[in-house]
Amino acid sequence: MKVILLETASSTNDVIKQYLPARENVIVCAARQTQGRGTRDRAFLSERGGVYFSALTFYEGLPASRAFEVMAHAAVAVCKTAARFGVDAEIKWPNDVFSGGKKLSGILIENSLAGSMLDSSIVGIGLNAENDVSALGGIATTLSMEAGRRITAKEAREELIRSYTSPTDFDDYLSRIRFLSRTVRVTEGGREYDAVARRILPDGRLEIEENGAIRALSSAEIRIRI
């Protein structure tokens, strides 16, 4: 997979779209982003010292029903990267990565469909390595902070590329989800309630049990607090 390194990008997810017409699998990384964004179009702090990574991948014969595998693979790649530096990381369903109770990485995915098949995906990953996250009010952490030593953005970037381009499976994802079998607080529409998180289904939905009733909900429908 071709890797392109940039000093500055508006957003690596935006830059990588120029490779869509050629149907070329490629990774784009930038030392900083000027218009980084996360889920729900939130701004994503993207100063030097972090890893700002996007991967464009085209698929043959992958049903859209399996699109969650793309997200799961990305989250596992981040966890494996952290592990290479001795940092324990877990996945907060569906795809944020936390360490020590604080956010280490965010993932933004843009999928393109061709009928019932997944045609391509753009996977954007922002990984905190040695960047200053103090402006985030204590909700974020970095590889360097968790490891207790300096982990450079270059080191983290190289490990992330290596992990992302290596195979993973769904069991790798499930092994890094740690809230299953616990009671969680669910916000669904205008209603809040407690439920037991039972399992993650292969399509990415969370199966919950509320007052003896079992349902499967998507991350687009609910928010949970552990």
pLDDT tens across 9-40, in order?
Answer: 989 999 999 999 999 999 999 999 887 765 55
Domain count, the chain: 2
* Cα 83 from Cα 75, distance rounded (Å): 13
pLDDT score for 137: 85
| Together in a domain, 60 and 163 | yes
Q: Go through the chain and tell me how many residues it has.
A: 226
* Chain mean position to CA 80: 12
| Together in a domain, 162 and 116 | yes
The amino acid occupying position 85 is F
* Strands 206-210 and 213-217, sheet pairing: antiparallel
Summarize pLDDT for 167-210 with one digit per residue, the tens. 999 999 999 999 999 999 999 988 999 999 999 999 999 999 99
| Together in a domain, 134 and 199 | no
**What DSSP element (H or E) covers 198?**
strand 191-200
User: What does pTM read for this prediction?
Assistant: 0.93
CB 8 within 8 A of CB 34: yes
Q: What is the CATH number of the domain that holds 110?
A: 3.30.930.10
| Structural domain that includes position 54 | 2-174
* Cα 31 from Cα 16, distance rounded (Å): 15
CB 91 within 8 A of CB 104: no
